[in-house]
Amino acid sequence: MQTLAQIKEILEERCMSPRHKLGQNFLIDHNLIRKLVDASGIGEGDLVLEVGPGTGTMTEELLDRGCEVVACELDADMADLLRDRLGEHERFTLIEGDCLESKHEVSRAIASQLGDRDFTLVANLPYGAATPLMLTLMLEWPTCLGQFVTIQKEVADRLMAEPGTKAFGVISVVAQLFSSVELVAKLPRECFWPQPDVASAMVSVVPRELRKDFDRRMFAMFCQKLLGQRRKQLGSVIGRDAPVPEGFDTSRRAESLSPEEFLSLYKAQSAR
């Protein structure tokens, strides 16, 4: 894997430097990179999506383990660098551009490369893309076998937040209802170059058995509606005469509901 000195040399040769507005903070701790890849369980022949590969440090580790890597890089200069370094590798495909077509849709280029094949997201995610990408994969991509990512600690906290806490939101409900979420590691700023202004964490998000008896996207929109008025009594948000599960107290507030209670309420509303 590339050392910090090698990363700096690679960039200096091209008169490049990390771009703050694109969230380019390169993970330089080799042990942590291996820890994340180990946690993913990927191996020979597995398909991996990597978003924000940077200079390709983690990409090279994934290729060394025999994976097929589809990498998406927004920075045109960084994409040129990756093409020069890895473009001839038979198991490497580079997509230049945004990983998202819209806030709720993976880019068409990525979708075309993945097709209907099972894949795993393993990435040091650009912080701006983390929440919409992870949520979209959880809601729309049953072929995603898991997400093993480095993200802003604030997002990791939201994924694992308990009802009633400030961090609890739609992504908390969706992640905990549809997946098993675990903290892989907390990362000090010194693990990156340049050092970010915020704390980071590695998490694993592994989907539970697929549930097909309701529309996941509509369910997320329902949760957003309720949590958008999180401190109001539910009866005033959904209507006092709206159908609810037996014994459900509409004087409660949305922020107090568990993920399972959100789903029960959604199904009662959808059945009317």
- End-to-end, the C-alpha distance of the chain in Å comes to 57
Provide the CATH number for the domain around residue 188: 3.40.50.150
The count of C-alpha atoms lying within 13 angstroms of the C-alpha of 241, restricted to the half-sphere facing its C-beta, is 0
Q: Assess whether 156 and 239 both reside in one domain.
A: no
Please give the mean pLDDT across all residues of the chain: 94
pLDDT, average across residues 171-186: 97
d(CA 238, CA 249): 12
pLDDT of residue 163: 96
Q: Which residues share a beta bridge with 206?
A: 180
Strand partners for 119 = 144
Provide the pLDDT confidence category of residue 272 given band limits of 50, 70 and 90. Answer: low
- On the question of a cis peptide bond just before residue 194, with omega within 30 degrees of 0, the verdict is yes
* Same domain? 203 vs 220: no
- Whole-number Å distance between alpha carbons of 123 and 141: 17
Domain-ending residue, one of 207, 236, 256: 207
Residue at a domain's end among 159, 187, 207: 207
**Mean pLDDT calculated for residue range 170-195:** 96
How far apart are alpha carbons 34 and 243 in whole angstroms?
Answer: 50
Nearest-angstrom CA–CA distance, 154 and 152? 5
Candidates 216, 267, 23, 46; CA nearest to 148 is 46
- Could you tell me the residue range of the domain that residue 168 belongs to? 4-207
Task: Say whether pLDDT at 188 is over 80.
Answer: yes
Q: Are residues 167 and 243 in the same domain?
A: no
Q: Is 156 a residue whose pLDDT tops 80?
A: yes
Contact (Cβ atoms closer than 8 angstroms) between residue 252 and residue 261: no
- Full-model pTM: 0.95
DSSP state of 259: H
Question: pLDDT tens, 41-96?
Answer: 999 999 999 999 999 999 999 999 999 999 999 999 999 999 999 999 999 999 99
Pair (233, 145) in one structural domain: no
Give the CATH number, domain containing residue 248.
1.10.8.100
Other Cβ atoms less than 10 A from the Cβ of 169: the count is: 19
- Over the stretch 9-29, which tens digit does the pLDDT of each residue have? 999 999 999 998 888 899 999
Asked if 79 and 99 count as a contact pair (C-beta separation under 8 A), the reply is: no
Domain count, the chain: 2
Whether 171 has a pLDDT exceeding 80, the answer reads yes
**Res. 240: pLDDT tops 90:** no
- Shared-domain flag, residues 220 and 103: no
pLDDT at position 179 is 96
Per-residue pLDDT, averaged over 231-255, amounts to 91
pLDDT over 90 at 176, yes or no: yes
Residue at a domain's end among 189, 207, 225: 207
CA 52 to chain centre: 12
Q: Whole-angstrom Cα distance, residue 183 to residue 156?
A: 8
Q: What is the pLDDT of residue 170?
A: 97
Contact 173, 223 (CB under 8 A): yes
The predicted pLDDT at position 270 comes to: 85
Distance of CA 99 to the CA centre of its chain: 11
* Same-domain check for residues 116 and 173: yes
Residue 210 has pLDDT above 80, yes or no: no
Q: Are residues 145 and 230 in the same domain?
A: no
Both 180 and 159 in a single domain? yes
Contact assessment for residue 2 and residue 29, using Cβ atoms and an 8 Å cutoff: no
**Alpha helices, H only, 43-152:** 57-64, 76-86, 108-114, 127-140
pLDDT at 97: 96
Q: What's the helix, strand, coil split of the chain in %, to 5?
A: 40, 20, 35
Q: Name the pLDDT band for 242 (thresholds 50, 70, 90).
A: confident
- Both 139 and 255 in one domain: the answer is no
Residues 189 and 253 in one domain: no
Task: Tell whether 70 and 110 lie within a shared domain.
Answer: yes
pLDDT of residue 241: 83
Domain check: are 170 and 229 in the same one?
no
